[in-house]
Structure 1
């Protein structure tokens, strides 16, 4: 049966980025074994969630998003807090999601929008447009066309996944999904989540690469690329934009990896070895585990350097000298 095929052209710029990204992923796997660094995986996941929600005008800060995920009390709008909980649950389902299954996409949309909209997990019934703030970029196809357009998109992906590079295929999907705008809410969040899902099947490390944070930095360009593709009739501009952002975020992660390796002293390594993740410790408890007596030695050589590297954080950052202060390994 004939179905809609997304129009795009593979350019030299795309192939240059595909080659560069593939090389950096290989280097990342050698230098930065994320399987042995759960704190980095978790930090990047939280960055992804915060940025993806911020693009959709969620006002919670990165620290507030972290606190919601950690089960701490956060003062904020209930809908925004629920969006964080939903997004975390959705991203945690990536490992058991088939990115070529339309039913899995609808299931994750149900998780992503739970308790925040009536049509959660179902295609829209009304007409929608793609907006950047108050500016309408374009009107989406009529609601009656959505089921067939989504089936066509997934059929195309299944047929072409062996011949179109995953980096390009994921970007094509992202643009086409935004264009179809299949749900009444949560389309941007789902487009970015599914982009990650497709890349994760290719290279599992993408589950913990915060592409969303890079999009957020260049949010205006993101929407401009979508609008220009709508005018041009192909997704070429958007594909190149996404590949460029992925290439940039990999540069940042590799740079952080090298810096971390250079700056982590033996003192900090000892400190991290005696602290379990996400468990709050008093300074006295950590010193006892390290066998230290001098508070000055502990502060100068162990705690302060670890906090500068964002490997340990205070539970009460606004009151560093509080008697209730605790320290958590990130």
Structure 2
């Protein structure tokens, strides 16, 4: 193999791969009973999230209406972006990750109603700006085809785990920036495609929605990877988002099944939920940061699980945020 993207596999990355693999196995079993409505909701979250990262302001409710063929008020561009994303994600199972023609076809579906050169690699140089500052000058346009061919060939031949390979491809794709527009949403689409070829369940896991919730960290991970000439920061970030998305999907599946709040109603707690509750029972003044450290989870994951436990009446916060304490209800 003549080309290999630069990345370092840390113990943190390997631990995330192991944890995601375990969670995927558990979710695969439970998804056998997942409703078509839940799958539809996840797809809508995916589309809304990936477009919101690019500045699209349409809500999940509006995207749902578009999916259902109902009229929606909005700018022509935003409506076209949603319709393009729907078409691209609907076609996702028909694509092969290592096929350049499929990549170009997907870009055409995603952006054909937005600009004339959809489905073609860019013909000009591009600078990535944020806040008026140039953060990245892309490779010259005449190098794009060769760089993409190298990246696709690496993806086709790599022995790295699909979780790792999908993150590496996503980062390298953004670095090359092969299209004049739509590179962010295409990088996320293709990572989902790569993951879905490993585990089809990823078609229905809205990772893009979590990325949108942590959008600044997404761009920071890209910048740090570029500065280090090593995409490990981006791999760590994306693996954490994937893990968080899986945990969120598991939680919403039980809610969607009509399980009401409260322990007596039979709400299924994850192993992480049990660990959080036990730690709080042992120390009712414990902070979210301490819970993250003691469970080995990201702070964002702990915050989401705490929110869910409070919504379902397992937990109650008494007093002020800094000086108060937790009560566990059983």
1:184 aligns with 2:183: no
* Separation (CA, whole Å) in 1 of partners of 2:134 and 2:68: 36
The alpha-carbon deviation at position 259 of structure 1 amounts to 4.1
TM-score (norm 2): 0.76
* Separation (CA, whole Å) in 2 of partners of 1:257 and 1:135: 42
Aligned to 1:22: 21
Aligned to 1:32: 31
Please give the secondary structure, in 1, of the residue aligned with 2:117. Answer: coil
Aligned to 2:167: 171
Looking at CA atoms only, which structure, 1 or 2, has the larger radius of gyration? 1
The alpha-carbon deviation at position 136 of structure 1 amounts to 3.1
* Separation (CA, whole Å) in 1 of partners of 2:20 and 2:27: 10
Please give the secondary structure, in 2, of the residue aligned with 1:72. Answer: coil
* Separation (CA, whole Å) in 1 of partners of 2:238 and 2:128: 18
Aligned to 1:146: 144
* Separation (CA, whole Å) in 1 of partners of 2:55 and 2:131: 8
The alpha-carbon deviation at position 254 of structure 1 amounts to 1.8
Aligned to 1:288: none
The alpha-carbon deviation at position 256 of structure 1 amounts to 2.5
Query: Which of 31, 44, 47 in structure 1 is aligned with 2:45?
Result: 47
**Structure 1 unaligned spans of 5+:** 266-308, 310-330
When residues 167 and 40 of structure 1 are mapped into structure 2, their CA distance, relative to the original with a 3 A threshold, is same
Aligned to 1:83: 81
* Separation (CA, whole Å) in 2 of partners of 1:262 and 1:168: 35
Shifted more, 141-150 versus 67-76: the winner is 67-76
Contact 1:130–1:178 (8 Å) recurs in 2: no
* Separation (CA, whole Å) in 1 of partners of 2:187 and 2:160: 19
- The number of aligned residues is 263
Query: Which of 235, 238, 253 in structure 1 is aligned with 2:249?
Result: 253
What is the 5 A alignment of 1:256-271? Answer: 256-261=252-257, 263=259
Aligned to 1:224: 220
* Separation (CA, whole Å) in 2 of partners of 1:60 and 1:4: 40
Aligned to 1:321: none
* Separation (CA, whole Å) in 2 of partners of 1:197 and 1:103: 14
When residues 25 and 261 of structure 1 are mapped into structure 2, their CA distance, relative to the original with a 3 A threshold, is same
TM-score (norm 1): 0.76
Query: Which of 74, 80, 96 in structure 2 is aligned with 1:98?
Result: 96
Contact 2:38–2:253 (8 Å) recurs in 1: no
